[in-house]
Amino acid sequence: MQDRFNEVESRISNSNLRRDRHESRHLIGGKLVIEHSPGLSGPGKSATVQIYSSTQIDPNTRKGKLSEKACLKKGKSRKKDGTKITTYKIKLHVASEFGNPGAFLIENNHKHRFFLQSATLVIPGNRIIHFDCRSWVYPVKDTNTGRVFFSNTCYVPNQTPAGLVELRKEELESLRGDGTGERKEWDRIYDYDVYDDLGIPEKGSDYARPVLGGSDAYPYPRRGRTGRPASKIETINLDLYVPADERCSPKKLSEFIANVVQATTHFLLAEANSLSHDSSSFESFDEIRELYSDNRGQAIRGALAMEKVEKVVPAEIFKEATHKSEYDIKFPLPQIIKANQFAWTLDEEFGRQMLAGTNPTRIHCLREFPPRGTLTESYIQISDIEDNLDGLSFEQAMIQWRIYVLDHHDYLLPFLRRMYSEGVCPSATRTLLFLRNDATLKPLAIELSYPGSFDNIDGTKTMVIIPEKEGTLQALWQLARAHVAANDSAYHQLISHWLRTHAVVEPFIIATRRQLSVMHPVYRLLDPHFKDTMHINALARTVLINAGGILEKTLFTGKFSMELSSELYKEWRFDEQALPSDLIKRCMALDVSESPIGAHMLFQDYPYGRDGLDVWLAIQTWVGDFCDIFYEDDHSVKSDTEIQAWWSEIRNVGHGDKRNETWWCQMTTKADLKQTLTTLIWITSALHASVNSGQYTYTGYPPNRPSRCRKFLPEEGTMEFAEFLKDPDKYFLNMLPDRFQATVGIALMEVLSRHTSEEVYLGQTSTSEWIDNKEVKQRFEKFNESLREIEKRILERNGDPELRNRRGPAKVPYKLVYPGATNGENVVAKGIPNSVSI
C-alpha cells in the first residue's frame, strides 16, 4: 500500500553555510531525509525547495520574497524498521538582504507522495530555524500546487511578520475548500457534514437509520465531510476520505490490523468450538472460562487458522497483517477474573466498578428521595432500604450524603417498546447504593422497568429487587445486577465513550484546521491531542456504529443505538465536561471556588475522581502557563481574530445544533480561553483513557458486564420462574449474550483496549523541536515532572490497604488515569494517550 512508504524528514545544517565571492548572496547548504518503501525510489531531483522571507515582501505577490529553487542531490540510504531512509543534499541561494526565512515552498514532481517530517535552516549568526512539518506532500500533477510549511515560531495573528501575513491567510483559505465535490486522497480540505452515512436503506428498511445532526429531532456533532453519496458504506473501507495528515501512520495501521486479525482468530476458534454444542447459550461458567488462556505462551501457527481468518477479513487488511506468523489461540485472561474468578459476583466489587471501573462518570449522590427523572418518580420506598444503612436512619444517611444512584431509567423508557419488538429483553434500571464508613458502596435496591408482553407492549412493568446473601432471592438479585450492567455497558459505549469523547471532539479538530494557522500558538498546543481521531472516527462509521455494525450486533440497544446517543447529546454541555464541574454536578465533590481546582472530593476513595483531579490540575497549570506566554490580557484574547473565528465556528457550525445554548462561554477573557483549552485537552486525553483503556479488563468477561440480556427477570407464577427455580445458574447463563454475541464483544474489547507502539502519552511529544520557544519548553518540562509525581501518588494510593476501592475484591489496581507509557504492554489498563487515537 502507498501508505507504507515515502516519509520525509528535511534537516538543513550549518556545515555548508558560506558567503559567495561577491559578498551579496548567501549560499545555504542543507539536507533532506526521505523515508520510503525499499522497492521504491525517492523523489531525488524531482523535488524542489524555495524559501520565503518573513520580512521582505514581493510587491507583486504581497508575500515574502521567494528564493531560487534548490533540488535534492547526492542521496545516501540506510534502513530503519523495514523502511529505506535516503538523505539528500540541497543548496539554496538568497540575497544578503533576504532577511529571516519564515516559510518554505516544496514541490513534489515525483510520481509518488512523500512524508515531510521536519526541516532545519541555519542562518548567519548560527541561529537555527526549525520546521516541524510531519505532513504528506503529494505530486503536483495531483494537487496543481506546491506545499508551504511555516517555521516553529508561533505568532498570534496581529504579530505575524509582514512577509507571512498573506501566506497565512492563503493557507487557511485553501484548507476550508468550497464545500463542494467528492474529496480525493490528496485534498487537504476540512469541512463539516452530518451523519448521513450510517444507514444502508438500499438493503431494506431494517438498515435505514435517521440522519444525525441538523435537526431538532436528531441533533449531533458534525463529522468531517467526504463528499461521498450518503448511506453507501457497507464494509470496512480503509480508503474512506480523511485528510492525509489526519490518517493513522502506515505502521500504526498495520499494528491495528494485526490486532484485528488476532482478535478475529480468537473469535473464529471460539465459534468453531461452539459448533459442537446444541445450544447457542453457554452451558456453564467453566465453558466461558475456556475462552481464555492463563498464559500468553500458547500460539497458533500454520495455514489452517490463517485460512479461516482470510475468509472473513477483507483482502487488503489480511495482506497488511500477514507479516505476523503466529497468534495466540485464546483470548488473554481479563484482570477481573485473574486474581479471583468469583470476585465479580460480590456486591462490593459491583459497587466499586461504578467508582473505578470503565464507566465511572455516571454515578451521582442522591439529594432528594425518591429519585426522580425527567419522566418518572422511582418506585423504591424508604422501607426497602432503611434497614440496610449500617445503623443510620434514612434521614441521617440523606443528610450525610451517603446514598448514591446509578440511573439508567428515564432516558431508556421511550425506547423499551421498540427494542422489545426487535427481540431483545431490555430493562431500564435505577440502582441505589449506600456509602459505608470504609468508603465502599453497598447496593441497596435495584428498580427495573420493562415492557409488557407482546400482546400488551404499550405499557411497562416495574419491580424492585433488594440484595440477598443466599438462596433463590440472592440468585434473583444477580439477575437484576446483570440488567444494570447491560444498561451501563451500552451507556458507556455509546455515550461516555463514543459520544462524549470521539464524536464531540471532531468538530474541534475541523475548526482548528480551518481557522487556526499552524503558526498560531493554540494550534501548536492542541495538535498532539488531535492525532488520528478523525481517521479512527471514520473507521468507526464503517464497522462499529453503522447499520448492522458491531455495536448494533452486541449492545441491547441494537438498531436504536445511535438514535439513543443523539437523544442524550441533547443533555451534553461543553462547560460540564470540565472534571471539577462534572463532579460538582453529580454531587461527588463540593464547589470550593477559592481552591485552584475549584472542587473538593466528597470522599477520597473515589479513584477516578481523585486521580482525575490531580491530572486535571496538571493540565490546567500547563495550559495556564502556556496562555500567559502568548496573551498579556483579556483584550489580547478578544482581538485574536483566529481564536474568535475558531470559537464561533465550533459553536455555530461544528456543534451547530447547540448554537443557541446560553452556557457557551463568550471567549472574551484569558480565563475563558484557559478553561476551554484545559477542558478540551482533558476530554481528548484523560477522560478518553478512563473510559477506553479498561474495557477488556472489565467487559472482556461477559458475566461481569454483559452487553445485552436475552431474558427478563422471571415473575412468580410463570413458566420462566419455574425454569429459574429449577436451575438459577442456567437461567443466568441463558440471560447472557449468546456465544456469538459474547465472543464478538470480547474480540472488540480486546482490539479497543490495545495500545500501539507509536502511542504518544500525556506529557510527551513526537519531536523535541515542536516549538521554537524556550520558555514554553521549560513550562512543558514542568508539566511532565508534575505527571511523574502523579504517577508516584497513584502507585502509593493503590498500595494503601485503607483505600479499598483502589483494588477491590478483584485485586485490579486503578490505573486508568495513570499518565505513563505502557512499556510495550498491549492489552492494558493504564496510560493516558495524548489523543482519542483508538
Which residue has cell 482478535?
Answer: 263
Alpha-carbon distance of 701 to 746, in angstroms, equals 7
Of 474, 505, 384, which is closest to residue 434 (Cα–Cα)?
384
pLDDT tens digits for range 749-774: 988 888 888 899 999 998 888 999 99
The region of weakest confidence among 28-37, 319-328, 585-594 is: 319-328
Grid coordinates standing for 457? 407492549
Grid coordinates standing for 369? 428521595
Alpha-carbon distance of 167 to 157, in angstroms, equals 12
The terminus-to-terminus CA distance of the chain in angstroms comes to 21
Cross-strand partners of 36? 84
Of 689, 698, 690, which is closest to residue 335 (Cα–Cα)?
698
Is 502 assigned a catalytic role?
yes
- Residue 452: predicted pLDDT: 75
Of 741, 691, 748, which is closest to residue 262 (Cα–Cα)?
748
Active-site residue among 108, 692, 773, 834? 692
Of 301, 170, 185, which is closest to residue 237 (Cα–Cα)?
185
Of 741, 737, 746, 758, which is closest to residue 264 (Cα–Cα)?
746
> What letter does residue 64 receive in the DSSP assignment?
E
What is the chain's Cα-based Rg? 29
Q: Is 689 exposed, middle or buried (0-12, 13-18, 19+ CB in 10 A)?
A: buried
Of 502, 561, 512, which is closest to residue 838 (Cα–Cα)?
502
Which residue has cell 508539566?
Answer: 783
Alpha-carbon distance of 535 to 238, in angstroms, equals 9
pLDDT tens digits for range 377-411: 999 999 999 999 999 999 999 999 999 999 999 99
Cross-strand partners of 515? none
Active-site residue among 483, 497, 520, 529? 497
pLDDT at residue 320 is higher than 70: no
DSSP 103-152: EEEEEE-SSS-EEEEEEEEEETTTEEEEEEEEEEE--HHHHSS-EEEE-S
Is 110 assigned a catalytic role?
no
Active-site residue among 130, 409, 502, 535? 502
pLDDT at residue 21 is higher than 60: no
Cross-strand partners of 92? 28
Grid coordinates standing for 344? 465479580
pLDDT tens digits for range 560-614: 999 999 999 999 999 999 999 999 999 999 999 889 999 999 999 999 999 999 9
Q: Exposure pattern of 228-265 as b/e (b: 16+ CB <10 Å)?
A: beebebeeebbebbbbbbbbbbbbbbbbbbbbbbbbbb
pLDDT tens digits for range 59-97: 999 999 999 998 877 777 878 766 777 777 777 888 888
Q: Which helix (H) or strand (E) holds 682?
A: helix 670-682
Contact 182, 226 (CB under 8 A): yes
Alpha-carbon distance of 820 to 815, in angstroms, equals 10
* Helix, strand, coil abundance in the chain, percent, nearest 5: 40, 20, 40
Alpha-carbon distance of 408 to 386, in angstroms, equals 23
pLDDT at residue 363 is higher than 90: yes
Strands of the sheet with 364-365, listed across from one edge: 364-365, 403-408, 428-435, 441-451, 460-465
Cross-strand partners of 542? none
Alpha-carbon distance of 710 to 720, in angstroms, equals 12
Range 781-790 average pLDDT: 98
Residue 370 preceded by cis peptide, ω within 30: yes
Alpha-carbon distance of 613 to 615, in angstroms, equals 5
3-state secondary structure of 96: coil
The total of other beta-carbon atoms located within 10 Å of residue 222's CB is 24
- Residue 86: predicted pLDDT: 73
Is 692 assigned a catalytic role?
yes
pLDDT tens digits for range 404-458: 999 999 999 999 999 999 989 999 999 999 999 999 999 999 999 999 754 444 5
3-state secondary structure of 377: strand
Of 105, 116, 106, 99, which is closest to residue 33 (Cα–Cα)?
116
- Split at pLDDT 50, 70, 90, the class of 161 is very high
Contact 746, 697 (CB under 8 A): no
Alpha-carbon distance of 581 to 584, in angstroms, equals 5
Contact 30, 11 (CB under 8 A): yes
Q: Across the chain, what does the average pLDDT equal?
A: 88
Alpha-carbon distance of 262 to 274, in angstroms, equals 19
- Residue 45: predicted pLDDT: 74
Going 236 to 238 to 242 to 246, the CA torsion angle's sign is positive
Alpha-carbon distance of 822 to 834, in angstroms, equals 13
Q: How far is CA 547 from CA 175, 192, 406, 491, in A?
A: 31, 21, 29, 18
- Residue 525: predicted pLDDT: 98
Active-site residue among 129, 200, 288, 838? 838
> What letter does residue 833 receive in the DSSP assignment?
B
Active-site residue among 492, 529, 688, 755? 688
Range 300-323 average pLDDT: 49
pLDDT tens digits for range 206-250: 899 999 999 999 999 999 999 887 655 444 566 789 999 999 988
Alpha-carbon distance of 15 to 607, in angstroms, equals 54
Alpha-carbon distance of 385 to 520, in angstroms, equals 57
Query: Any residues with CB less than 8 A from the CB of 408 and at least 6 apart, and which?
Result: 362, 428, 429, 430, 484, 487, 488, 491
Is 510 assigned a catalytic role?
no
